[in-house]
A and B are shown apart, each in its own frame.
Chain A
Amino acid sequence: MKTKITENLIKSHNLSKDEYKLILKILKREPNLLELGIFSVMWSEHCSYKSTKKWLKQLPTKAEWVICGPGENAGIIDIGDNDAIVFKMESHNHPSFIEPYQGAATGVGGILRDIFTMGARPIANINSLRFGDPKNSKTKHLLNGVVSGIGDYGNCIGVPTVGGECFFHKSYNHNILVNAMTVGLVKKEKIFYSSAKGIGFPIIYVGGKTGRDGIHGATMASAEFDEKNKDKRPQVQVGDPFKEKLLLEACLELMSSDAIVAIQDMGAAGLTSSSFEMASKGNCGIELELDKVPQRETKMEPYEIMLSETQERMLMIINPNFKEKTAKVFKKWGLEFSEIGKITDTGIMKIYFKGELKATLPIKPLADAAPEYDRPRTKTLKKKEKTLKDFKTINLKQALIKIMSSPNQSSKEWVFNQYDRSVMGDTVADSQKSDSAIIRIHNTNKAVAITCDCNPLYCNSDPYRGALLAVTETWRNLCASGAMPMAITDNLNFGNPEKREIMFEIVESIKGISEACKKLKYPVVSGNVSLYNETEGKSIYPTPVIGGVGLIKNYKNFGRINLKKNKTIFLIGKTYGHMNQSVYEKEIMEVERGKPPKVDFKEEIKNGLFIRKLIEKNLLEGCHDISDGGLVVCLSEMVINSNIGMEIKVPKTSLSFEEWLFSEDQSRYVIVPKNNEEIEYLASIENISINKLGKAGGKKLIIKNCLEIAIKDLIDINNKWFYDYLS
């Protein structure tokens, strides 16, 4: 029976009236339900980037070492010796709020597939998580579910999860963020792309059987939450990491031959978007026979088959000479597969079901006409500066204790210990041991450094500078690990772009990222946009998460968050005493006020290159960059990590003790040289700001005239929160 396309039906597909008019124009007739469904997912925010495309185009994406920028499944950079690194970050925010375990697990599964679709073996995962206020009744359940979902998926597939962020703030009470990043390794000549080729070549479906799970997941990720979303559980997919492991091994085995002409994973919008994108990129047509799609459930309609988001599925175009080889590999790995169609030269997508033609869609016009909006935006009205609450004045030691035991500054051991960080045997350092996680390139002396960052408080106060600082912080993390920063992936998490102030945040953030990337010669090679992270009109803080990747020439020389007894501790960089939007103001004064710190790129680059050179030459015992919480948090983390104390003297300064210890000025590092004279000499040649702070040793962190705390107490304080909260 033919379903009538009503206004309600159009609305429930999240298509605007204008978009529907465009559909009529392209088809020169009314679409049927299946066609409407296809349009709706292809033009959803999630698949089409319609609100952000205009701005994303302005990001710098090129450098000599960039092999593939945004637009493919992931970005690729050249790390020499014919090796390339493939990476991307992707969000799974909406599903993870509805069903945290499966939402997070399938988020990891999805990003892993993006990487191995390109021919790369995944070598590391990291993730960036944002939860609501710990006091919010849902937070504990969400935290537990997300962490075990991420862990179980990565652990089972055997890819180490080596670090990340975990941050709590009330702005995420009803919209948590789960951003997962995977890094893969591939030989340059074995990179696979999704552009379809070969008229008449068969289209092979392989992996999980299609069910009704996740239908319209992409549309869900393109709308705000409301009370009704509680009923959207069926739109969340279920993950099977074992199947993904088989799919990974089978794909890589098949990729070692010349069987695969083009390949695309079935992620958001499943079979629709994978088949469409392949044909669109290859400028060809496609014919699908949906009866041949392996199905898990009975009586599935074409609409359901095309829009299902069942996990662990791949679509590939095979050279017909390799059909037997392909079948042999998939059988070996026990995978379901089927030839479901072929490539044509018509430029049209034809979908058949039970011998009948069910949909006819012109590929190029549909893809090219995907809406692109320049949505109106307005600068957020300056919020009235809140008057300070009567916060209790506490001494410096109490302040440090309060900060080190706060959820955001607490040790994330509880989280990381649930992640297998050592599988694959190449984890040189996880993100607790160094400012970025360091993974050796198998069978070589090289390593990649991986990190991610975003400070939502900074971004909320000034989206431009906040995003710029997020990029810069990842750059600094990589330098502090001794890596040459090479490129980033960005995961832009915002509220509803149809609201002017949200659109303003989006555009400002993209501009901030752009500026930092240009200044640091640190291009964007892949990314993801997650909008509509709001519930009942309340948006999350703007959260443009940046994932940075760098290269270490010799994995034996890397920056460690470490101390050595009797060695001197130095501060690199200038301290101005910037306290606004700092952890100190947030935790101790209980206020978010003013602007985030400024960054001077000349200083940033000078200091970063200097630090990297010291580490490359193996001149340091320890190194840690100064970020959230300021100098004293940085020093505390070094004490905790090495189980060695220190005695520090505050230099002559016009700053208050609070400012000197807790300010969050940028471009700063703490280093512990092997030989002081050598470092001081090198710093003087390069005009680096360097200050002696004190010496490592003893059983306490001592900052003369300020505070004194035993290592054991510091460790206990730092570990306590997570275990108390979750036990």
Chain B
Amino acid sequence: MAKKPLISIIIFPGSNCDRDLIVAIKKTLNVETNIIWHNEKIIPKSDIIFIPGGFSYGDYLRAGILATKSPAIKEVIRWSKKGVRVIGICNGFQILTECKLLPGTLTKNINPSFLCKDIYLKLNKNNKLIKNISKEKLKLPIAHSQGCFYCEEEQLKLLQDNNQIAFQYCDVNGNINKDNNPNGSLLNIAGVTNLKQNILGMMPHPERAIDLQGLSDGKFFFEVLKQL
């Protein structure tokens, strides 16, 4: 049996998905998460570092930007360069794009309101980080007002060519089209990785879909982390 992964999670003032994430990791991987407060200057050796959803520092100014100045994020950047996996969910994704660990930017949803609903995700089986997820698509909730993924055309092509687009919004049959793009993201992008594919950002919330009826695909996402 593989060794249990060492997992850390960064908590900012205003994070609100930290508990859900800690519980999901415990339920699916039976791992106790190492909690890092935003102003800690050292993150101990980890296999995976999570950045949870929420409204870090109130998301004042622009979602995610204030968090990029925190000591803990500087540590995340250092570890990520050594190949440690970093996964940002929702606000975590916004933080990762704001500190340039991931390409692109997350802007206001095309319909500018906050949007909470269950969506389907198509998985890119050529992406190293998620290819072992044992499903073709996942049903997960989204809940955000700034989740519209945007980048320059050139960058978008690179993302495609290098298999960095990990998740795309799709319909129940896996078709990707305008009708099932909830927030106006380019190419229905819901999650991307960096070029090395050790850093992942995603808007949907797998941690909220572990063991509820009709909403439990999140466990497939976490279970694959054992194999990394």
Contacts and interface: CB of A to CB of B under 8 A. Distances in A.
* A and B bind: yes
Interface of A: 148, 151-152, 155-158, 240-243, 245-246, 332-334, 416-425, 427-428, 440, 442-443, 556
Contacts of A240: 58
B207 A425 contact: yes
Contacts of B81: none
A157 B210 contact: no
B14 A422 contact: no
Contacts of B141: 422
Nearest to A332: B37
Contacts of A158: 16-17, 54
Pick the most buried of B24, B53, B116, B118: most chain A CB atoms within 10 A of its CB. Answer: B116
Nearest to A420: B143
A334 B54 contact: no
A426 to B, nearest CB: 8
A418 B114 contact: yes
Interface string B109-124: 0000111111000000
Given A155-B143, A245-B14, A245-B16, A427 B116 contact: no
A157 B14 CA distance: 7
Nearest to A243: B58
Contacts of B83: none
Contact of A422 (B23, B58, B205): B205
Contacts of A428: 212-213
A420 B114 contact: yes
B114 A151 contact: yes
Given A333-B13, A420-B116, A242 B57 contact: yes
B213 A556 contact: yes
Contacts of A241: 55, 58
B57 A417 contact: no
Interface string B204-228: 0101111011010000000000000
A361 B115 CA distance: 50
Contacts of B54: 158
B115 A422 contact: no
Contact of B60 (A151, A242, A334, A419): A242
A423 B17 contact: yes
Contacts of B215: 422
A552 to B, nearest CB: 13
B171 interface: no
Interface in B25-60: 37, 53-55, 57-60
11 contacts: A155-B114, A158-B17, A241-B55, A242-B13, A242-B55, A245-B55, A246-B13, A418-B113, A422-B209, A423-B16, A428-B212
B213 A156 contact: no
B19 interface: yes
B117 A417 contact: yes
B20 A418 contact: no
Contacts of B210: 425
* Size bracket of the B interface: 20 to 34
Contact of B114 (A152, A332, A425): A152
Contacts of A418: 113-116
Nearest to A248: B16
State the 6 A-B residue pairs at the shortest beta-carbon distance, nearest first. Answer: A158-B16, A242-B58, A422-B141, A420-B143, A425-B20, A425-B208
B127 to A, nearest CB: 25
Contacts of B205: 422
B43 to A, nearest CB: 18
Nearest to A726: B113
Of A157, A241, A423, A556, most B-chain CB atoms within 10 Å: A423
B17 A242 contact: no
B116 A156 contact: no
B143 A423 contact: yes
A518 B60 CA distance: 49
Given A425-B23, A425-B208, A148 B13 contact: no
A443 B23 CA distance: 9
Nearest to A335: B13
Contacts of A556: 213
Contacts of A243: 58
Given A156-B55, A417-B117, 18 more contacts: A151-B114, A155-B143, A156-B14, A157-B16, A242-B59, A242-B60, A333-B13, A334-B13, A416-B116, A417-B115, A417-B116, A418-B114, A420-B143, A422-B116, A422-B205, A423-B16, A425-B207, A425-B210
Contacts of B208: 422-425
Nearest to B140: A422
A442 B212 CA distance: 12
A256 to B, nearest CB: 15
Given A246-B13, A419-B116, A424 B143 contact: no
A427 B14 CA distance: 21
A423 B143 CA distance: 8
A152 B59 CA distance: 12
Contacts of B209: 422, 425
Nearest to A428: B212
Nearest to A158: B16
A433 B86 CA distance: 35
Contacts of A422: 116, 118, 141, 143, 205, 208-209, 215
Contacts of B13: 242, 245-246, 333-334
Contacts of A148: 113-114
Contacts of B113: 148, 151, 417-418
A149 to B, nearest CB: 11
A182 to B, nearest CB: 15
Contacts of B207: 425
Contacts of B118: 422
A419 B210 CA distance: 21
Nearest to A246: B13
A427 B212 CA distance: 8
B166 to A, nearest CB: 21
Nearest to B55: A156
Contacts of B117: 417
Contacts of A416: 116
A428 B143 CA distance: 16
Contacts of A155: 114, 116, 143, 145
Nearest to A443: B23
A637 B187 CA distance: 34
A416 B116 CA distance: 8
Interface in B115-151: 115-118, 141, 143, 145
A659 B209 CA distance: 43
A623 to B, nearest CB: 15
Contacts of B114: 148, 151-152, 155, 418-420
